[in-house]
Structure 1
C-alpha cells in the first residue's frame, strides 16, 4: 500500500496548529507538527483575514520541515461554537426483494440524510449513525450482511454549523494555497479521545482553550449533545492581571509556570516576583496566591458547563469527565474537577511523539476522523454524478450549481469521494501491473532483476524507527482483507 499522509489544520483560539500523521495499527502516528500564535484567529474563527492566512502559511511551512512531507491538502476542523445538533430518520426501500445489506447501502442512507437536511443559516457538516432499523423489526448498530426485504432505516445525528463561519474559514484556507479534503466538527472528533467504556456509559469531554471552553456528551456509542461556554484560559490571565497589578504577559507566564487550579493543594513555598504596572519594584507572589484567583475562574467555567448539561437533561455522567485543551496544562485542574463531581476524572494528553500536549488533542482527533472516513471509502464509493451535465451545456452546469447551493459542502464531499475512487482504481491498476508475468524469452533477465532486488533488500538499512518497519509488515495483510477492515471500522464507529 502506498504511504498516505493525513494533515489536520486546527484554527484555534489563539493559534493555528497543523499535525501531519499516518495510520498506524489502530491509531495515528504523528510525524510532524507546526504551531503559530496569531491575533488573526479567535474561538476557532477568522478575526483578521490576512493575519490568519499568513499564520496558516507559516504553520504549514513548519509542519513541512518537521515531517518532510509536501502539504497541499488538509482536513479542517471547526469549533463547537454556534453548532447545532439534531436527530433525524431516513430509510431506503427494497420493494419486497430480499437484499443483503452492504456498506454501500449504509453510505447511501447517510448521504440521503445529508442531502435532505433543510438549508438555512446553518450548514450540515457531519452526519453520524446512532442506530439502524432493519425491516422495522429490530434496532442494530451494524446492519451489514443482514437480509432486508422491505427497508433499511437509520436514526442519525446531524451536526450543522454557522454558514458564514464556514465560508470564511474555507476562503482563508484556500487563499493560503491549500485544498480542503473534508471538514470535521470538534463535536464528532472528540469521540476519539474516549475509551469504549466511557463512550458507552456516558462521558463528557471538556476542552478548555484560551477563549472558549467546548464540551461534548457521548452515550451508548455516539454523540448526544455538544456546546460551548465563553469562560476559558484568557479569563484566568485577565483576572491575574487585575488582582496582582501586572502585565498580561507577566500574568500569563505566572499562570503557566506556577499556577494551580486547586487552592487546597497549592504551595506557599513556591514564590515568584511579578513586575508591577505602577511601580518599579516587583511584588512577591506565591503559588497559593495564584490559586486563589485561578480556582474561581476554572470553577466558574466548570459550573457553566454543568448548568448547560443539566438544562438539557444530562444529569448522570457515569462514564466520567475527560479534560483536555491548552488550559488543562494548569496543575490541579483534575483535582478541582474531582472535588466538584462524584464521577471519575482524567486529563487527556495525546501519547503521540511530538504532540504530547493537551492543546493538540483536537487536531489529532481530526486525523482520526479523516482516517476513519477514508477507510470507509476504500470499501464503498457512492456515485453522485448520475446526472452529470454535458461539457458544452453551460446552462445545465449553472442549474446544477444552483441546485447544490443549498448545501455548501455538497461539492466538497462529492469531490472527496471521487478522489478516493480514483485512488482505489490506481491501486488496483498497480496491483495488476505488479503481477504481470514476464515473456518466456525474458525469464533469465527477470531472474537477474529478482536476484539484484534481493541483494538490495539485504543491504538496505532502515533510516526510520521500528514503528515504520512494523507498519510496512502490517499493510499487505490489511490490503488483502478489505471486508474485515471495514467491519472493524464500523464496529469502532458504532461503539
Structure 2
C-alpha cells in the first residue's frame, strides 16, 4: 500500500504549527502534529527571520516524531492580511468533437484565469473555481468525466496577496530546509470549516488569533469576500495589563484560565491573584473583573467586522457565524456573539485526535485544500524519492541571463523546474520493479487513526499502482502553451515566474 501524506505548515503570530494528515473518507485523518511558540511573527508577517526559521525547524521535528513520517515537503498557508479577491472567466473550445473532461482541462482553465492581469503590485496566490459550465448548458462543481462537445468554461475567484509577505514566508520556509509544494490563502481554506448548508446560505468564518482577526464570507458554496482587522488576543492581554497593573505573562495566563468574554455570565466566585508591577502585594481579581475588560475588546473586534461586511454589501448572513482560532478558546465568546447578532453562532473545534483545539483549524483546513485540489486536478503532490541526481552546470550564457533578469523568485522557479524535469527523466528510466523499490514506507505502527464519523470498517481511499503509473504517463505530455511546467507535480507560485 502506498501512503500519501499531506503536511500543512501554519506560521502564526503566537506559534508555528505543523499538521501531518491523509485523506480519510470525506475528511482528513491527522496522524501527527507539532507546535512551537515564537515571537518571530507578528500580524502574519515575519519580523525576526532567525526566530521564525528555528521555530519552523523545531516544529517539523516534533511533527516527525509524532507522525513517524519524514517531512521535507509542505503546504503553506498565508494570512488574509492585504488580500484581495477578484473574479474572472475562461473557456476552452472543443469544436464539436465529443471530449471527456479530465483534470488537465480544469488545470488549463485555472491557469488561463491566473494569466489575467489581476495582481498589480500583489501576487496571485490562489485561483479557485466557483463553477464550471459544460457546453453552455450545465453548471456543475466538478465536470470531470462529463462529455462536452462545444466548450468547458469556468467562473473562478482569484486571491492576490502582498508580495513582500510572500517573499519572506517562502524564503524562511526554504531556509528551514523544506520544499513548498503549494501555498493556500486562509480565505480559500476556511470553506472547509463550514457545512454545505452554511456555505450555500451565506456564512461568515471569524478566526481570532493573537495579532489578527480574519474573516471570510461564503455564499452559494464559494468564497465571496475576505478581510482582517488588527485587533485580537494580544490586544485583550495588553488591556488586562493596563487595567490590573500586572505583567504580560500574568495577564495572559489569567485570560486563558479565568477569562470570560460575556460579562453577564462571568462569576464573582472565581478569583485569581495577579502580581503587581509596583507592589509586593498581589491583587485579587475575579472572573467578572476580567470579563469587564475582555468583553469590551472582543465586542469592538466583532463590531469592526460587522461594519466592514456591511460596507461591502454583506447584510444577510443566513448561514450564521462560525468562530475559531486561539482566542475562541475564551469562555463566553459564543454567548457574546449571540447577544450581538440574530443569526446562529457556533465555535468550530477540529474533531481530529491530537488537534482538537480551535488554533489548529487553519492548518487542518490547509490539508483539506490540498486534498481538494489534488482530486479536482487529478495529480499527486507527494515526492517518491529521497533525492535528485545532481544537475548539470549552467552555461555561461545562462548565468549571464540569470544575472540580468533574476531575482529570488526567478531562482526559486529555475531550481524547482529543473528538479521537476530531472524527476520525470528518472521516472522514465526505471521499470516497474525498480519503481516499487524506490518507495519509502512509514512505520505503520507509528500511525494513529483518529475517530471518523463514518463506519470504522470503511477502508481508506488509497492510491493504487495503476494510479501512480497514470501519473507518470501524464508527466510525459507536452507542456501547455501558457506556463504549464510539463508535469502533474504541484509546484509553488507559477504566476510569479511566468
- Normalised by the length of structure 1, the TM-score is 0.81
Q: Determine if contact 1:378/1:421 at 8 Å carries over to the other structure.
A: no
Q: Could you say which structure has the higher helix fraction?
A: 1
* C-alpha separation in 2, matches of 1:86 and 1:289: 45
Match of 2:492 in 1: none
Q: Deviations over 1:258-277 (max 9, x none)?
A: 10000010011111111111
Q: Show the 5 A alignment for 1:315-326.
A: 315-326=315-326
Q: Show the 5 A alignment for 1:268-307.
A: 268-307=268-307
Match of 1:213 in 2: 213
Match of 1:67 in 2: 67
- Report which of the two structures shows the higher radius of gyration computed on alpha carbons: 1
Q: Determine if contact 2:247/2:275 at 8 Å carries over to the other structure.
A: yes
Q: Determine if contact 1:56/1:173 at 8 Å carries over to the other structure.
A: yes
Match of 1:100 in 2: 100
| Compared CA separation, residues 406 and 238, structure 1 to 2 (3 A) | closer
Alignment pair present for 1:429 and 2:440:
no
Match of 2:201 in 1: 201
Structure 1 unaligned regions, length at least 5: 382-389, 435-460, 483-495
Match of 2:171 in 1: 171
Q: Show the 5 A alignment for 1:7-156.
A: 7-156=7-156
Q: Show the 5 A alignment for 1:327-342.
A: 327-342=327-342
* C-alpha separation in 1, matches of 2:99 and 2:301: 51
Give the match's secondary structure for 1:39: coil
Residue 118 (structure 1) shift? 4.5
Q: Determine if contact 1:198/1:320 at 8 Å carries over to the other structure.
A: yes
Match of 2:250 in 1: 250
Give the match's secondary structure for 2:214: strand
Q: Determine if contact 1:11/1:45 at 8 Å carries over to the other structure.
A: no
Give the match's secondary structure for 2:217: strand
* C-alpha separation in 1, matches of 2:351 and 2:302: 25
Q: Determine if contact 2:262/2:336 at 8 Å carries over to the other structure.
A: yes
| Compared CA separation, residues 140 and 394, structure 1 to 2 (3 A) | farther
* C-alpha separation in 2, matches of 1:223 and 1:426: 43
| Compared CA separation, residues 411 and 184, structure 1 to 2 (3 A) | farther
Give the match's secondary structure for 1:474: coil
Q: Determine if contact 1:182/1:413 at 8 Å carries over to the other structure.
A: no
Residue 309 (structure 1) shift? 0.6
Residue 152 (structure 1) shift? 1.8
Residue 414 (structure 1) shift? 6.9
Q: Aligned residues, how many?
A: 448
* C-alpha separation in 2, matches of 1:370 and 1:152: 24
More off after superposition, 301-310 vs 32-41: 32-41
Match of 2:480 in 1: none
Give the match's secondary structure for 2:275: strand
Q: Deviations over 1:169-219 (max 9, x none)?
A: 110111111111111111111111111111111111000001000001111
| Compared CA separation, residues 276 and 121, structure 1 to 2 (3 A) | same
Residue 101 (structure 1) shift? 2.7
* C-alpha separation in 2, matches of 1:380 and 1:477: 12
Give the match's secondary structure for 2:315: coil
Structure 2 unaligned regions, length at least 5: 382-391, 438-443, 468-498
Residue 279 (structure 1) shift? 1.2
Q: Determine if contact 2:31/2:450 at 8 Å carries over to the other structure.
A: no
* C-alpha separation in 1, matches of 2:52 and 2:334: 33
Give the match's secondary structure for 1:252: helix
| Compared CA separation, residues 288 and 143, structure 1 to 2 (3 A) | same
* C-alpha separation in 1, matches of 2:404 and 2:111: 19
* C-alpha separation in 1, matches of 2:405 and 2:92: 22
Give the match's secondary structure for 2:314: coil
Match of 1:440 in 2: none
Q: Determine if contact 1:259/1:290 at 8 Å carries over to the other structure.
A: yes
Flag the structure with more relative contact order, 1 or 2, with Cα contacts below 8 A and sequence separation at least 6: 2
* C-alpha separation in 2, matches of 1:270 and 1:476: 49
| Compared CA separation, residues 161 and 30, structure 1 to 2 (3 A) | same
